[in-house]
Amino acid sequence: MARNQEAKRRVILEATLESISRHGYEATRLRDVSESAGVSIGVLQHYFGTREQLLGEALGHASGELVEHFAALDPARLSPWMELRGMIGVVCGMPSLHGRGLLWLEMSSLVRRHPELRGRLDSVYELWDTHVRAAVQRGAADGSLGVDPESVDDLVAIFLAFFDGYEYEIASSLVPDDPAVLERRAVLLAERLFRPVPA
């Protein structure tokens, strides 16, 4: 029973994220989400209470998915470079790059009008930053990445900015919504920035 409830919550949260991407945060209504998720508005209110609670949890769900996938990339079993490759694969493999790009653009503009959402946006960036930085620092320390330890901050900032910019371009339909192209370009950039040392 609990598993069915968790599955239903996940369907609702995914439908909410899709609705936010399509309509924007402020224009997303419970009716939109209920139709997309195939549940009644009463079910939405049973699980999440208010519209604001539902939207807030949906934004948290988006970052929670990254946490789950990143947690599976065990640094004890992976070299720093393979951990970085794994993170690139996770992000590029998320469903609907176009929808995700629209979602993060929406979140970025929302924080000016809804400061209570600042923490949601910051948590996603900090999650990325923390994991990438740890892998690069580990590679700099063990010599498997040709990185000057003093340049780690700048290199990680450049790497993260690439994804932010690319998501904007995908959301704006300036480049194709093609996960393989994004992954190829991200790996190419990572190779240039972090310089993995051949084993």
Query: Looking at residue 61, what is its pLDDT?
Result: 77
Residue 65 has pLDDT above 90, yes or no: no
Query: Looking at residue 146, what is its pLDDT?
Result: 97
User: Does 73-194 match 1-55 at the fold level?
Assistant: no
Query: Looking at residue 1, what is its pLDDT?
Result: 46
Q: What is the pLDDT of residues 142-193, one digit of tens each?
A: 999 999 999 999 999 999 999 888 888 888 889 888 999 999 999 999 999 9
Residue ranges of domains in the chain = 1-55, 73-194
> Do residues 92 and 84 lie in contact, with contact meaning Cβ atoms separated by under 8 Å?
no
As a whole number, mean pLDDT of residues 92-97 equals: 78
Query: Looking at residue 124, what is its pLDDT?
Result: 75
Query: Looking at residue 20, what is its pLDDT?
Result: 80
Fold classification of 73-194 (topology level): Tetracycline Repressor; domain 2 (1.10.357)
Q: What is the pLDDT of residues 34-53, one digit of tens each?
A: 998 899 989 888 888 888 88
66 or 31, which is more confident? 31
Q: What is the pLDDT of residues 101-149, one digit of tens each?
A: 777 777 777 777 778 777 777 777 788 899 999 999 999 999 999 999 9
Residue 87 has pLDDT above 60, yes or no: yes
User: What is the rounded CA–CA span in Å between residue 64 and residue 70?
Assistant: 10
The CA distances from residue 169 to 51, 130, 136, 160, in Å, are 30, 24, 26, 14
Read out DSSP for the chain? -HHHHHHHHHHHHHHHHHHHHHH-TTT--HHHHHHHHT--HHHHHHHH-SHHHHHHHHHHHHHHHHHHHHHTS-TTTS-HHHHHHHHHHHHHTSS-HHHHHHHHHHHHHHHHH-GGGHHHHHHHHHHHHHHHHHHHHHHHHHTSB---GGGHHHHHHHHHHHHHHHHHHHHTTSS---HHHHHHHHHHHHHHHH-BPP-
Nearest to 61 by CA among 26, 30, 109, 94: 94
Pick the CATH number of 1-55 from 1.10.10.60, 3.30.70.20, 3.40.50.720, 1.10.10.10: 1.10.10.60
Instruction: Quote the radius of gyration of the chain (alpha carbons, Å).
Output: 18
